[in-house]
Chains A and B, each alone.
Chain A
Amino acid sequence: MNRIPLRFHLNDAEIGEFIDSGTTLLSLLRDKLGLTATKSGCNQGSCGACTVLINGAPQLSCLVLAARCEGKSVATLEGVSDNGTLHPLQRAFMDGFAAQCGFCTPGMIIAAKALLDRNPDPDRGEVIDAISGNICRCTGYEPIIDAILAAAAEMRGGKRKSA
């Protein structure tokens, strides 16, 4: 594989790296940059555990070549909290018991953040659509859906829409 230069924006940092041209974004994040919140589940784009935001849109980082991120902005779970202050989604997942083993949680929170960033007032069906590409084995999904709706309500100023 060719070694190629890559520059992109990751969370709050500018990243410059030389990478093998076939490196996936997931592998770059976890193996080279040491950001392990993003999980490697199926490694073939069907479980959602590796979801990150690229220019604000949810993408499966196991299917994205890192080289395609040149000049783009990538956000992972590590960048969701604000200087140690948890994002409302993170707090809602904790308060709502929306994680058990925790393996799907980073992908779920990123997929949910993508939804709330473009639609701050989703209904239950829209939340379900937003996480339909993310597999969870433990929770039965219901606490996750409830947590996302609770976070959305908090971010809108505490008003909860009847789901």
Chain B
Amino acid sequence: MAKQRGRGMASVNYPTGMNLGGDPSQALIHATTTGSFVVTLSSVDLGQGLKTIMAQICAETLGIPTDNVIVDTADTDTGPHCMGTFASRGTHRIGNAIIMAAKEARAVLLEVAAEELEVNAADLETDGKGNIQIKGSPGKSISVLETALAAHFKHGRTISGRGIFLQPRSYPEPETGRMTPATCYAHACTVAEVEVDTETGEVAVLSLKSAYEVGRALNPRMVEQQIVGGAWMGISHALYETTEPYYPDRAHGPVDFNEYLMPGPGDLPKFENVVIERPAPDGPYGAKGVGEMTANSPIPAIANAIYDAVGVRIDSLPITPEKVLRALKAQAA
């Protein structure tokens, strides 16, 4: 009876978005009289930070401060269409739609500014701080706010833009089954180190070391945060979570947080994460999706580490102490 250590690795190639009948998302952008821009979406921020990333993409494309972007995700009945916030598709699909919409809005913004400054719109640039200026001549400029007011009250124009990104439906070739189910793929590899107690069957994850290739990390802190949160969830799926009863029938299944187990703050391994950026040609500013994949590679990496530690293959999740002990017993027999 002893505690045995082992190491295992696993890799994941994760498709950004999916394609079961075409995968579109739309975005609408308009300027208000305050010089802020509203991005109207039917996508949802469920904590992954969609609003932040969409504001960044809009601000970058328009050439204005991120603080001056309001992302409105209020109503899927009245908003522009979105397939939904799933399949790690938000940054890529909706981000691309916002770029398209913001380019159209930017063109109008510069046209109105050009009339106000009595110059050619092609000679204007934004300074990213809320001003529009003549290229190479920052002295001659107009603020985005003044431009928005002029558009509303003098020119009778809407500074607005429409955007859509559509990944068209892809049918499999009958001969080969070949199809294009996704756009770009993000990649990751995780190495897990575990300690298996051969007396109790308990598995402790000592460390999770991961490398992620995510296209471009539009917000590096949020990418890091997603990776850590996903790694925790990977441990949870690998070792803890199940709605199935442990013994003998449904009445003994977990019904609440006291019985539906998850790792707590005291069960964390040492995390080490590396992010590699190789911008995707079709991604918004090169970004791919780094959402769901973060919970993927830790699971097989942990299962492989258990095999390395004690020589038993557990092929159903979660890998409970009972399963480990039964497998060890079968191995000894």
Contact = CB atoms under 8 A, between A and B. Distances in A.
Are both chains from one complex? yes
A77 interface: no
B225 A97 contact: yes
A100 B47 contact: yes
Interface residues of B, number: 23
Interface in B29-60: 46-49
A141 B265 contact: yes
Given A46-B257, A46-B258, A97-B222, A140 B228 contact: yes
Contacts of A128: 264-266
B257 A143 contact: no
A144 to B, nearest CB: 7
A42 B257 contact: yes
A131 B264 CA distance: 9
A136 B266 CA distance: 13
Nearest to B235: A140
B257 A138 contact: no
Interface in B255-292: 256-258, 262, 264-266, 268, 271
A139 B228 CA distance: 7
Nearest to B219: A97
A42 to B, nearest CB: 6
Given A100-B48, A102-B47, A142 B256 contact: no
Interface size of A as a range: 20 to 34
B250 interface: no
A135 interface: yes
B101 to A, nearest CB: 26
A158 to B, nearest CB: 22
Contacts, number: 61
A141 to B, nearest CB: 4
Interface string A131-163: 110011111111111000000000000000000
A1 interface: no
Contacts of B10: none
A81 interface: no
B229 A138 contact: yes
Given A42-B256, A44-B256, A135-B257, A141 B222 contact: no
A89 B266 CA distance: 20
B222 to A, nearest CB: 7
Interface in B218-232: 221-222, 224-225, 228-232
Nearest to B264: A132
A100 B257 contact: no
A138 B224 CA distance: 12
A101 interface: yes
**Quick one: which of A44, A100, A127, A137 has the most chain B CB within 10 A?**
A100
Contacts of B48: 100
Nearest to A130: B265
B268 A142 contact: yes
B123 to A, nearest CB: 41
22 contacts: A97-B224, A100-B49, A101-B46, A102-B47, A125-B266, A129-B266, A135-B262, A135-B264, A137-B233, A137-B262, A138-B47, A138-B229, A139-B228, A139-B232, A140-B229, A140-B230, A140-B233, A141-B232, A141-B265, A141-B268, A142-B228, A145-B265
Contacts of A57: none
A67 B155 CA distance: 63
